[in-house]
Every structure is written in C-alpha cells, then in structure tokens.
Amino acid sequence: MKENVFITLAGLYVTLRRLYVTALTAVMATLATVAQTSGAGGNDRIAQLEKEMYRYYSSNAIDSFMLITDQLIEACREAGPSQERLFYKAWSNQAIYSFNRVNRTRGLELAHQIHDYAYQHDSKFGLYTSTYALATMSSSLRHFAQAEHEFTEAINYQHRFFPDESAAAPYLGMAKIYVNLEKPEKVLDCAHKALAEPNVIMQHKLNAWTYICIAYYDDQYSRDDFNRAYAEREKLKRDNGHDDNFGPAVNFYHAMKNGHYAEALDIATNIKGGSDRLQFMAQAYACLGDYRQAYLYQKRHMNYRDSINTAEVQQMSYEYAAQIDVTRAENEAKDLRLSKMDLQIQAAVIIIIITLAFFIFYYFRRRKQMHELRHAYSQLADTTTAKERIDSELRIARDIQMSMVPSTFPAFPDRRDIDLHAAVVPAKEVGGDLYDFFLQDNRLFFCVGDVSGKGIPASLTMAVAVNLFRTVAKEGFPPEVIATKLNDTMSANNENAVFVTMFIGIIDLKTGNLDYCNCGHNSPVYGERRMLTSQTVFRFLDVESNVAIGLWPNYTFVGGHLDDIRGNTLFVYTDGVNEAENRMQEQFGEKRMLRVLRESTQPFGERTPKTRSHFLIDEMKCALDAFVDGAEQSDDLTMLCVSIKKN
C-alpha cells in the first residue's frame, strides 16, 4: 500500500515539474517578445520624432517644435549610447531654433549647457554639436570671422572623429556667412561640398540648393543659371513635402532676377522675419524707382539688426566660444596623452634616423642657408627702396591733393566784407574730405564734403568731386541743382557704392541771402549775432538732410534758404570733428563743439593777427588736440567758417 502511494506521489511530482518548466518557458518567451516589441516601438517613436523635428524646424510653430525636441531628447537619453548622436543633434537644433525664433540669450545658454554636458560625459560628438551651434549663432550676430573659425573647427572635428557622419550642416553655415560677405563663388563651393557629404538628409539637400539659388542671384550670373537652380530646388521641395526657412527669400530673388519687381515687393511685404523683410522691401522699392521709401526701409533694417544683436548677447557669444575652444584643446591634449607612448617610440626612431643623416645633411643645409641669407639681404634692400619710393609717391599725392583745395588765406584779400577760413587734416597720407570756394558774379560759392572710406580710393573720389563741383557750380545753378547733377554723374557705374556727403552753399554778397543744399551731411552750426548784447549765439541749422551724393541716380534734392546772414557766422564741418576719439574711445561730441564756438571771445572782424573765422578754426583745432591727447586719428576732419560783413 505504501509502495503504491509512493509511486503515485512520484508520478504527481514529475507531472508538476513538467508543468512548471513549460509555464516558465512560456513566460520567458512572452517577456522576450514584449521586450522586442517595446524596443522596436521605441525606435519607431524616435524615428517619427526625428522626422517631426525637421518638419517643424522650418516653421514658426514654436510650441510644437519645443515639445517635439524635448520628447526626442528624453527618448534618446533613455535609449542610451545607441542614440547619442541624435540626442546631441536634437539638443543643438533646439538651441539654434531658440536663438533664432524665441530668445537669443536663451539660445546661447542652451549651447553652453550642451557644451558642459558633453564635457562632463567626455562626448566628442557633443563637443562637435555645441561648436556647430555656437558657430551658427555667431554667424547670426555677424561675428563672421569667429563663426568661420568655429565652422571650420566643426568640419575638421567631424571628418577626424566621425567620417561616416554628414558635415553638410557646417558647410551650409559657411555658405550663409559668404552670402552675407557677398562672395558667391565661395557660397557655391560650400553648397556643393555639402551635397557631396555622405548620408545627406533631404532637408540639407534643399538648403544647399537654396544657397545655390542665392549665389546665382548675383549680377555676374545669368537669369538662366538662376532659373535652372530654382527649378531643381522646387523639385526637391516637392520631394521633401515642405519648404525651408529661406523659401520666401528665394521666391523674392526669383521675382527680382526675372524683373518682376512689383511681385517681389509683395513677397517681401509678407516675409515674417523682420530683418529680411525690411532689407528686401528696400531693394524692391529701389528697383521700382521709389528711392525715398528704399532709403527709409534700409535705415529701419539697420536699426532693427542692431537692436536684436545686443552687446550682452554678443559678449556671451564671445565667452562661450572661448570656453568651447579651451575644452576642445583639452580634449585634443587628452588624445595626445593617450598616444604619448606611440609618439615616444616614433620619436626615438626619428632621432636615430636624423642622427645618421645629420652630418651628410649639415653641409648642404649650411650652403643653402648662406644662399638664402644673401637673397634675404637683397630682398630687404629692394623692399626698403620700394617702401621709400611708395612713401615719396604718397607725399607727392598728398601735395597734389592739397593743391586741389584753396589753401591761401585770407581767401579774398581785396574783399574786406568776406571773412573765410578753412582747414583739412587727413587721417592718412591722403584722405577723402574736401572743401572748395570761389567768387562769381558777386556771389560766393562754397562746399564741404566727406567721401566714404579713407586713403587712396577716397582721395581719388575727392578729386573727382571737387572738379565736378567747380565745373557745375560755375554754370550758375542753385545748390539743389548742383547736387542733382553731381549725383547723376557720380552714381553712374558706381559698382563699389562710393558716396559723398556734402553741404553746398551760395551767398549773395549784395543781399547776404544764403541758398544751400545739405546732401546727407552733418548739419552746420549757425552763429547769429545779437545786436543788443554783441554776442553770437550758436545753434545747429535745421536743414533737409536729403541723401548722400552717388547712392541713387535720378534723386531730386531739396534745398534751403536763409535771409541776410551778414554779421553772422556759418561753421561747416565733417564728422571727423564731432566723432574724434580720445584714448578712452570717448567722442568729442556736438556739445563740446558748440561750447568751443560759444566760448570764443575774439571780436568780429578783427583781421590782425587772425580773422574771426581763422581764430574759430584754430580754437577748434586746439580743443580737439587737447581732447584726443595723442590718440591716433581715426577719420579725416575738415572745417570751413565764413562770415559776411555789412557794407
């Protein structure tokens, strides 16, 4: 009986054992299936989030983009090392997007956080993405030299450590820099290099063709070149399913290149980016012939660009760039330490080879050095001779330039009723400031001008402007007509956009009436003599500013008029006076200039040892010399002072 019970219990145990093993096997298989499903689902979700990130990156849906990138960053963090690169890409895209569309300070802070996180986790790819993000932001802040350096470092870093990854993004960043620097050949080179990178995503292909279109918008390329690139981009846009950030800008260039200026203005009006909208509207208005609107929108564009690139943001950009450079250097030093042993072995081999070859090499090297030394001495002598010749030619050029403006004072010794004095001090050997005056039909014609730029190019333009003024003014035209004729001549074929600000005046010596035209120049100072107190009250003359000469053809200048200025003083100057800087980079300013004129006490009409005008200009020179205190002169300065006495 006991034996039967034992057998029964043994059989039951075996049966239960088999059931347990079967159940355990089923549970393990189920868990494995669940784990595989969960992993596949996670990868699918990450792929979908990545696709959504690039779709929203080109849109203004800020909340949607930030939510998608937050989810993608967290999903990649949970996935671990397998998604490290996408983790940093998503984070850097969020930083760049925040910088461009949310808040520039916030974008820089995110780039800094990426850098710190990558440094703490010893991630080379993280350092690459933070370098790329900061380079993109530096480019937006117009720190082009810094941005170009950072993009180059990012490209070299990626090619060195991640050759299978696409470096299209930093190449496209370089292309954007060269767009701003107006170097279309380099834009095309960077765009084609981006397209040649491995594993280029569709969005970057579209961006590359965008920059190719922008480069072909330059005047050196034909309309057919642009339209072919535009057609290729349109095909990529359809394949991509959505446009990139530059779509409206490319459409604007397409309309402008094909001469549809009204359509271009309509496109520019609807562009959401403030800076691009204002700049494009200025270009469209200029092509439509509305130069006043073009001038206003160009001015708004400059003010808008300066307002968003605050000093605080620019300082943060420089600090973060410096920190990233230091970190990159530390990582490179770490790599060098890891390979130190190999380098030591290689160095030992090289030392042995050098030692064996040294005695053979020394003799020939010594002969070569002596030959190079003799050649260097010869070149030094040639260079010294050439420099002396250039210095001599510059001195001659300065003498020629100074001979083109009147320099003998008193200007009209036989006219006791005219008190006129002028002076010009170039910042370099030759300069771009000018003045001129002459008498004709009992009328005093005069002008003061400032050519854009400095040095020899400015001096050549100055010579043209002086001769044109004298030629046109001698025809007896009023100041606004003189300005219009000078502008029509100097704006023709003005490919380098050189311009001249100028104040033109004509005084009728019989009546004392002054007719003038101010062409984008500083407002002159008018000193009105009060008869009761015998004091002269100086104030800035309220004038119509117009635009500078040489900017836009067919512009109509507006003049002004003052009745009988006899007994009063007119002081005309260039911005080298009020913008003169001392060693602390403080400007002389208009208030100091007025104070110097007001505190001048020499009586009107005194001709010995100096005239009133001569005295005022010498006082201003002394005040400027005392203020700058030996600081290097940064701009040409010119002054002209005239007073007419009553007969």
pLDDT at residue 344 tops 80? no
Sorted by sequence, the CB contacts under 8 Å of residue 200 that are 6+ apart come out as: 166, 168, 194, 208
Read off the pLDDT band of 40 (50, 70, 90). Answer: low
Task: Give which of 408, 438, 404 is closest to 422, Cα–Cα.
Answer: 408
* pLDDT for the residue 32: 36
Q: Is the pLDDT of residue 58 over 80?
A: no
What is the average per-residue pLDDT within 611-636?
91
pLDDT of residue 337: 53
For the sheet with 535-540, list strands across it. Answer: 418-425, 637-644, 569-573, 525-530, 535-540
pLDDT at residue 385 in the model: 65
Most confident of 292-301, 338-347, 442-451, 593-602: 442-451
- Tell me how far apart the terminal alpha carbons of the chain are, to the nearest angstrom: 157
Same fold, 44-335 and 411-644: no
Q: What is the pLDDT of residue 10?
A: 43
pLDDT beyond 60 at 543: yes
**Residue ranges of the alpha helices (H) in 507-571?**
none
Q: Is the pLDDT of residue 51 over 70?
A: yes
Give residue 122's pLDDT band: very low, low, confident or very high (50, 70, 90).
Answer: confident
- Cα–Cα nearest to 405, from 374, 364, 443, 437: 437
For residue range 262-293, list pLDDT tens digits in order. 998 998 888 876 678 888 888 888 898 888 88
Q: CB–CB of 553/536 below 8 Å?
A: no
Each residue of 126-158: pLDDT tens digit? 888 888 888 888 888 888 888 888 889 888 888
Look at residue 6 in the predicted model and tell me its pLDDT: 38
Which whole number is the average pLDDT over 594-607? 71
On the question of pLDDT at 505 being above 80, the answer is yes
Confidence of residue 584 (pLDDT cuts 50, 70, 90): very high
Q: Six-digit token pair at 156?
A: 């070299």
> Helix or strand or coil: residue 70?
helix
Whether the pLDDT of residue 379 is over 80: the answer is no
pLDDT at position 490 over 80: yes
Q: Is pLDDT of 430 > 80?
A: no
Per-residue model confidence (pLDDT) at position 381: 65
Give the pLDDT of residue 158: 83
Sheet of 500-508, strands arranged across = 433-440, 443-451, 500-508, 514-519, 560-562
Q: What is the mean pLDDT of the chain?
A: 81
Structural domain boundaries in the chain: 44-335, 339-400, 411-644
| pLDDT value at 328 more than 50 | no
pLDDT in tens, 431-456: 678 999 999 999 999 999 999 877 77
Using CA atoms, how far residue 416 sits from 133, 410, 605, 643, 644, in Å, is: 70, 10, 9, 11, 9
Fold of 44-335: 1.25.40
What does the pLDDT look like over 365-376, one tens digit per residue? 777 877 777 776
Question: pLDDT band at 240, cuts 50/70/90?
Answer: confident
Q: Which CATH architecture has domain 411-644?
A: 4-Layer Sandwich (3.60)
Q: What is the pLDDT of residue 2?
A: 37
Q: What percent of the chain has pLDDT over 70?
A: 81
Report the alpha-carbon distance of residue 97 to residue 106 in Å, rounded: 10
24: pLDDT confidence band, cut at 50, 70 and 90?
A: very low
Of the two residues 389 and 544, the one the predictor is more confident about is: 544
Q: What are the pLDDT digits (tens) for 466-484? A: 999 999 999 999 999 999 9
Quickly state the pLDDT bin for 386 (edges 50, 70, 90): low
Q: Which of 104-118, 320-334, 410-424, 543-557 bottoms out in mean pLDDT, i.e. has the lowest?
A: 320-334
- What is the pLDDT, as a whole number, of residue 377? 66
- In this prediction, residue 254 has a pLDDT band, given cuts at 50, 70 and 90, of very high
Determine the number of helices (DSSP H) and then strands (DSSP E) in the chain.
21, 10
